[in-house]
A and B are shown apart, each in its own frame.
Chain A
């Protein structure tokens, strides 16, 4: 049995079915991210001090530009199909897939940077903050700096960029230490939750777009209108992913 309204328009909705479906799905996605943004607001407002300057702004900006570029190539891929130019569609979507991989690559680098970044509280009350260089049995080496106090670790507003120094610490001197993973504080928890969920959406969208670019593209020969609709629906999802990042970037990186 043939699936109805895959390319022809339903009279009651004025749309093909997949388009109604994707918009209903996106509506639920708005509420999912809305709930997390609401959690972010509550955590931030209730915090004594909110971290500033912990994320790499040039990398975040680069990722924003990458996602915006992928958005235009997605819509151009769809427009190319509408104009019957399959070759252009292949080129534009190849760029979209490259952008998705670049975005995830940069995000992975940022995550890795957080996982090797440590706050080491010494028994004498001092704090060492920086990247773990050596994690030995008796001593560790941190490439970083001595912080004046906890405020100096959390708010990097006033801090001038100084060259990190290798600091050797005996294990017996350490009171506690942990890296900047999701467990570090509420800021890293919400940062990893929001960006992790967003990254999962990027992966999901990239898988679908890659499928349509490779195996699914054969439908262009048998049912071009339906294929164009599939590309439009995947594009709507991709634009939504871009839209979420447009808010995540200033909220997490800049403010």
Chain B
């Protein structure tokens, strides 16, 4: 009975290990795509930025979802992250909102 349980346990983690490897390959591929896409002129720099951030978000989802196991976590963790997302989005929202009051043409050199 105990041996059966141990075998199931190992089988369960072997399945996880295979999944980690697929995620790893996807991350490597995503990195190469990010670099390649940055050299493609999509028409404006804004579009290039959007494409790069979209790919980076996909990679971040893979790391957070699978390596950090967020895809199947406890409610408590989702609760903590819910607050974090709320404040992070608020911070970025305030940043964008403040653009109208921003002193343009800051000297960079």
Contacts and interface: CB of A to CB of B under 8 A. Distances in A.
A82 B10 CA distance: 8
A29 B88 CA distance: 11
A185 B108 CA distance: 5
Interface string B1-24: 000000001100110110011011
B76 A20 contact: yes
A246 B59 contact: yes
Contact of A45 (B23, B94, B99): B99
B20 A79 contact: yes
Nearest to A10: B76
B71 interface: no
A46 B80 contact: no
B88 A79 contact: no
Given A15-B77, A31-B91, A243-B64, A68 B108 contact: no
A239 interface: yes
Contacts, number: 144
Given A61-B31, A154-B109, A239 B91 contact: no
Interface string B38-62: 1000000100110011011001100
A14 B75 contact: yes
Contact of B34 (A20, A45, A254): A254
**Dominant secondary structure of chain A at its interface with chain B:** helix
A243 B84 contact: no
Nearest to A39: B95
B76 A42 contact: no
Contact of B84 (A31, A75, A185, A239): A31
Interface stretch (A48-56, A167-175, A195-203): A48-56
Contacts of A71: 24, 27, 63, 67
A46 B13 contact: no
